[in-house]
Structure 1
Amino acid sequence: MTYDPMYDLIPAHFAHELSGRPSMGYVSGEDWIDDLPGLIADLLAEWELEPIGRPSSGVCAVVIPVRLLGAGRDVVGVSGEGVLKITWPHPEAATEHLALQAWNGHGAVRLVRADPSRFALLLERLHTRDLSNVDIDDACGVIGDLLRVLRRPAHPRMPSLTAYALRQADELRAAPPVLPRRYLDQAAALATELAERPAEERLLHTDLHYTNVLAAYRSPWLAIDPKPMAGDSAFEVAPALWNRTDELGTGSQVRWSLRRRLEIICERAGIDEGRARAWTIVREADNAVAAAAGASGDATSQAHARDQVSLAVTIIKAMND
């Protein structure tokens, strides 16, 4: 096989992880990785981009620092630098460009160019520093402030949170008892109630946690990597509770820490705490059921699923107390 220099722009661990992904309505991870070098080369040529740094990756996307040689330099600033983000096609990423267009750089990374058919985005370049090492109260304050800034009318093409809630109500009622049955029944009842008594629909990020907020050149902090939906802003709080869990403490301190995070975010974002607690219970029950269903037979996968279920129980208890 002829060596393709574009392979150097694909982190090896990312290629390995993606290769095992089944198709989610588009293309399998293995087939997409096989085609990725050609896709990178095409985008660099068509958008007049020059790679200038070490590529990075998340769970589903490769990010390549680039210098803009043609259109878009006025958007990214005097450095002329941006990042090319190419995502493995899956439903959650299909409307990312629409959310970024709606925010237009206010509270979120600025979109320079997009090719939705190839799940490719050209974005302004941010710092690599995130909220992981920022004091937890301050970090929650930043997330609350960003949620307020990001509040926009719902885009008509966004997936509906109400539809999600109704599906979850049915799935949680039918789920095996991976959680105590009372928690599954409670989450199903809350999902139904939240769907039947919807709040004003807003454009939602849905995955705003400590590593999805980066320091920027033009603003202290900006959100990245949305998984957009349209619905109740109270749905947004949960990811800040299930991340940085090693800092929750032990015993009774865990409940206090979780409720403190929720209180700070809701106050700064103008979100109703009761609805945020209810949505968190629904989301954590969903996480637990998904983790148990997705566990394979190996010990590492089983241990991860048990940890996720245990965390769900801890957070649901804290939201109920």
Structure 2
Amino acid sequence: MTPETAPPPFAEFLSRWGLTPDGPARRTPGSDLLPVRRQGRAAMLKLARTAEEAAGHRLMVWWAGQGAARVYAHDGPALLMERLDREGTLAGQALGGQDSAATQVLCRAAVAVHGAGQGSWPALPDLHRWFRALGEAAGQGAEFAALWSVAQRCLAEQRDVRPLHGDLHHGNALHSAERGWVLIDPKGLIGDPAFEYANLLCNPTLAHALSPGRLEAQLAVIAQESGLDAARLARWAAAYAGLSAAWHLEDGQPHEAALTLRVAHAANLAPGR
């Protein structure tokens, strides 16, 4: 493949940034990606197809590589970032008996990006907007209504509001030989850092998340690594799991919604909650 024969979405940026295709293109629900080389250096060209992905690009630029993949160029929907090692995953570690070690890695990367950035924040949606889906689901039964109440409390009591990754999970950290594990693919949100860690408790799979004692054990790890109160983390975990269940229902996934509600129930029963 040459810049001239590359898929049309990429051609403009291959030419503008002097890039050479270095592998097959792939498509995700929100973006198109193409491995490339820039002056001999491996990189990834990512083109956002949604406003959410474009917001994540702005956040990656603002982080300037602190706790996250480095950005080499950015223009509108296009982001050129360092290409990282996809061999060995944190999901594999978590499922292979190193759950707490994987959680520690993700927490430390989150702490790094929470302290990153200089100057004014990029324009990003806030948590109130995200939680609308749970508010809309509150009429579908007592469980959703109760979780909406938990979410409203969390939103009203937010602290240390700042830019968040918004999709912190085991698949969104890749390994850099130079810097260790760094984050990719943020959604980009403004909110309480305690929200950031809730997604870890629903991952890397819902079956794993529901393993006996797993939620309590990982809550303790997150509290230690983040310095945040375990009870607040548990409330945010319940609220997030309720939101995730609402999204599953919107996507026509009732089985996944039911499992995620079980995670919310476990978070609500966490000691000190």
Tell me the TM-score normalised to structure 1 length. 0.74
SS at match of 1:207: coil
| Structure-to-structure mapping, 1:1-321, within 5 angstroms | 5-6=5-6, 37-69=7-39, 79-88=40-49, 90-116=50-76, 119-129=77-87, 130-134=89-93, 135-152=98-115, 155=121, 157-165=123-131, 167-168=132-133, 170-174=135-139, 176-177=140-141, 181=142, 183-245=143-205, 248=208, 254-295=211-252, 305-321=253-269
The one-letter amino acid of 2:173's match is: V
Considering only aligned residues, what root-mean-square deviation do their CA atoms show, in Å? 2.2
Identical-residue share of aligned pairs (%): 27
Distance 1:60 1:228, change over 3 A: same
SS at match of 2:213: helix
* Counterpart Cα distance in 2 of 1:245 and 1:115: 35
1:97, CA displacement in angstroms?
A: 2.3
Distance 1:163 1:52, change over 3 A: closer
SS at match of 1:137: helix
- 1:168 and 1:188 in contact (8 A); partners too: no
- 1:248 and 1:258 in contact (8 A); partners too: no
1:236, CA displacement in angstroms?
A: 1.0
- 2:134 and 2:144 in contact (8 A); partners too: no
* Counterpart Cα distance in 2 of 1:55 and 1:163: 33
Which runs of 5 or more residues in structure 2 are unaligned?
A: none
Which runs of 5 or more residues in structure 1 are unaligned?
A: 7-36, 70-78, 296-304
* Counterpart Cα distance in 2 of 1:157 and 1:203: 10
Question: Which moves more between the two structures, 147-156 or 121-130?
Answer: 147-156
- 2:206 and 2:260 in contact (8 A); partners too: no
- Greater C-alpha radius of gyration: 1
Q: Which runs of 4+ in 1 moved over 6 A?
A: none
1:47, CA displacement in angstroms?
A: 1.2
Q: Give the structure 2 partner of residue 34 of structure 1.
A: none
The one-letter amino acid of 2:265's match is: K
1:248, CA displacement in angstroms?
A: 2.9
Q: Give the number of equivalent residue pairs.
A: 258
The one-letter amino acid of 1:171's match is: E
- 2:21 and 2:37 in contact (8 A); partners too: yes
